[in-house]
Amino acid sequence: MIRFFKDDNKRTILFMAVSLVALIISFFDIGHLPINAAWVAIVLCGVPIVIGAVVGLVTAFDIKADVLVSIALVASVIIGETFAAGEVAFIMTIGAWLEERTVAKARAGIEKLVQLTPTTARVLRGWEEHIIPASEVRLGDTLRVFAGETIAVDGVITTGQTSVDQSVMTGESLPVDKGVGDAVSSGTVNQFGTFDMVAQKVGEDSSLQRMIRLVESADAEKAKIVGAADRWATWIVVIALAAAAVTWIATGEVIRAVTILVVFCPCALVLATPTAIMAAIGNLTRHGILVREGDALERLAQVKRIAFDKTGTLTYGKPEVVNVVSCVPGLDKAALLQLAASAECRSEHPLGKAIAGHARHQTGRDAAQPDVFELLPGRGVVATVDGRQVYAGNEALLGEQGALLPAGLLQQGEAAKADGCTAIFLAVAGEAAGMIVLSDTLRPDAADVVAGIHQAGFKTTLLTGDGPKAAAHMARLAGITDVTAGCLPEDKLGIIKGYEAGDEPVCMVGDGINDAPALKAARVGVAMGGIGSDIAIDAADIALVGDDIRALPHLLMLAKKTMRTIHINLAASMVLNFVAIALAITGVLNPVLGALVHNVGSVAVIINSALLLKWRNKNPGRGPVRAPAEARQRQVQSRQRI
C-alpha dihedral, 242 to 248 to 249 to 251, nearest 10°: 130
**137 vs 135: CA distance, rounded Å:** 6
Query: Under a CB-based contact definition with an 8 Å cutoff, are residues 318 and 181 in contact?
Result: no
Residue 77 gets which letter from DSSP? H
Instruction: Give first-to-last CA distance, the chain, whole Å.
Output: 75
What is the Cα–Cα distance from 510 to 307, expressed in whole angstroms? Answer: 9
3-state DSSP percent of the chain in helix, strand and coil, to 5: 55, 20, 25
For residue 586, give the amino acid letter.
T
Using alpha carbons, select from 68, 124, 90 the residue that is nearest to residue 19: 90
Q: Kindly name the residue from 309, 440, 448, 541 that is annotated as catalytic.
A: 309
The answer to whether residue 309 is catalytic is: yes
Distance CA 513, CA 539 (A): 9
Count helices and strands (H / E) in the chain. 24, 22
Q: How many CA atoms lie within 13 A of 619 on its CB side?
A: 9
Q: Angle between the 254-263 and 82-115 helix axes, to the nearest 10 degrees? A: 10
- Listing DSSP states for 117-145 in one string gives ---EEEEEETTEEEEEEGGG--TT-EEEE
Element (H, E) at 474: helix 468-478
Helix axes 82-115, 591-610, angle to 10 degrees: 20
State the Cα–Cα distance between residues 423 and 444, nearest whole angstrom: 23
CB-based burial, 311-338: b 16+ in 10 Å, e otherwise = bbbbbbbebbbbbbbbbbeeeeeeebbb
Question: What's 389's DSSP letter?
Answer: E
Question: Distance of CA 38 to CAs 12, 42, 48, 77, 623, Å?
Answer: 17, 6, 16, 11, 60
User: Under a CB-based contact definition with an 8 Å cutoff, are residues 484 and 491 in contact?
Assistant: yes
In angstroms, rounded to a whole number, what is the distance separating the alpha carbons of residues 82 and 26?
Answer: 9
Which helix H or strand E contains 515, and what residues bound it?
none
Which one, of 578, 613, 622, lies nearest residue 232 by Cα? 578
β-partners of residue 143 are 123, 197
Bridge-based pairing state of the strands 183-184 and 154-159: antiparallel
* Residues marked as catalytic: 309
